[in-house]
Amino acid sequence: MTQRLERDDVLGGRFRLVEPLAEDPLLAVWRAEDLELSRDVIVKVLAPRWMDDPEMVERFRFEALAAAQLVHENVASTFDVEHTDGALYTVSERVPGPSVAQLRDAGPLPAMGVAAVGQQAAAGLATAHAHDLVHRAICPENLVVARDGRLCIIDFGSVQPLAGGVMDLPEPVFPEPGISDYWPPERLAGREVDDRGDVYSLGLVLWELLTGAAESGSVEDPGPVRRVLASLPGVDIPAQRLREVLTRATAEDPADRPRAAELADDLVAITGIRPQERLEQILEELDVAAG
């Protein structure tokens, strides 16, 4: 398929394109309808210009195959990667809810809500790390909450294998704006990055939810967490235990951070065992529109 995608195009005789969600020179993202199973899905289509580039095709396939390994309630499911009608595309779960960025902008969230977001995200990350994969693009836009309070990690477009530490391979050709604001200090410095980089990124997201402050500024700044807190002089951070957990998660030295599974356990101790119920209630109170 070399022509421009349009609404109501059907890929592979099965996936009807309903609404464009995003597009850049690398790929187009669509909300689509799975005509066989009568469900909404997300379809990501590699731009035609890259179809003759073996490295880009391999990169696109790796993302899909890596994400498809991860079967966990807190990771958006990847159903398939298809090469039909001259198009290469992936099909994944659509989570109909607000992003954590929307929750932050409607916040700040109560400490229990922040812990509930963090516990679910950390559990999803722990599964990825157990499969020797590092997400590398944890940010508020890549965490989405369904109306029942289930949080899902989305977008594995920057995923890399973990093998004794992930060296910073060439960055995505067209990185999403804002993701680098959540990179850990070692990545900004060009040093080796492992799974604890994801923990740092998640910790920064959780600080933002707790304070209601969005991270901003130069990616060269070595202390984004400190900038978030300094932007709210006099703010009273609730729940001392949560503050202690997030301080560890965003430690400058990766050796001082917990692994994702440990972070999830620490947050379970704060939220109890039903974090989805806490988030469901918060969504109702904030009345944040579904995506």
- Predicted confidence at residue 28, as pLDDT, reads 92
Q: 200 lies in a domain?
A: yes
Question: CB of 214 within 8 A of CB of 106?
Answer: no
Q: Look at residues 36, 60, 93 and tell me which one is the last residue of a structural domain.
A: 93
All residues at 6 or more sequence positions from 236 whose CB lies less than 8 Å from its CB, including other chains: none
CATH number, domain with residue 36:
3.30.200.20
Cα-flanking dihedrals φ and ψ of residue 156, to 5°?
A: -100, 30
pLDDT digits (tens, 9 = 90+) for 95-117: 988 999 999 988 788 888 899 99
Task: Tell me which of 34, 59, 93 is where a domain ends.
Answer: 93
Q: Do both 124 and 253 map to the same domain?
A: yes
Which domain, by its residues, includes 55? Answer: 10-93
What pLDDT score was predicted for residue 262?
97
Whole-number pLDDT of residue 237: 52
Please say whether the beta carbons of 90 and 44 come within 8 A.
yes
Give the pLDDT confidence of 198-221 residue by residue, as tens digits. 999 999 999 999 887 765 444 445
- Identify whether 1 is part of a domain: no
Q: Rounded CA gap, 140 and 176, in Å?
A: 12
Q: CB of 50 within 8 A of CB of 57?
A: yes
Cα separation, 158 vs 179, whole angstroms: 10
Closest CA to 96 of 139, 45, 152, 44: 152
Residue ending a domain, among 75, 93, 111, is 93
SS3 assignment, position 93: strand
The pTM assigned to this predicted structure is 0.85
CA dist 239 and 243 (Å) reads 6
Q: Which residues pair with 134 in a beta bridge?
A: 160
Decide if 3 is inside a domain.
no
Residue 4 falls within a domain, yes or no? Answer: no
The pLDDT assigned to 143 comes to: 96
Strands (E), the chain: 10-11, 15-23, 27-34, 39-46, 78-84, 87-93, 133-134, 143-145, 151-153, 160-161
DSSP string, 172-235: PSSPPTTGGGG--HHHHTT--B-THHHHHHHHHHHHHHHHTPPP-S-TT-S-HHHHHHHTSTT-
Asked if the structure places residue 119 within a domain, the reply is: yes
Q: Does residue 104 sit in the same domain as residue 82?
A: no
60 shares its domain with 116: no
Residue 232 CA to residue 274 CA, distance in Å, equals 31
In a domain, 167, yes or no: yes
Task: Annotate 179-213 with b (16+ C-beta within 10 A) or e (fewer).
Answer: bebbbbbbbbeeeebbbbbbbbbbbbbbbbbbbbb
Residues 135 and 88 in one domain: no
Verify that 43 and 185 share a domain, yes or no.
no
Residue 146 is classified by DSSP as: -
Domain co-membership, 241 together with 110: yes
* The total number of structural domains that make up the chain: 2
2 domain-assigned: no
Shared-domain flag, residues 59 and 128: no
Q: What is the DSSP letter of 165?
A: S
pLDDT of res. 95: 93
Is 197 found in the same domain as 145? yes
Flag residues of the chain having pLDDT under 70: 1-3, 163-178, 214-239, 273, 287-291
DSSP β-ladder status, 27-34 and 39-46: antiparallel
Look at residues 268, 246, 275, 270 and name the one whose alpha carbon lies nearest to residue 258: 246
Tokens 């109560």 identify what position? 110
Judge if 226 and 106 occupy the same domain.
Answer: yes
> Is the domain of 192 the same as that of 264?
yes
Task: Assess whether 112 and 228 both reside in one domain.
Answer: yes
The CATH number of whichever domain residue 110 belongs to comes to 1.10.510.10
> Does residue 291 belong to any structural domain of this protein?
no
My answer on whether 239 and 146 are in the same domain is yes
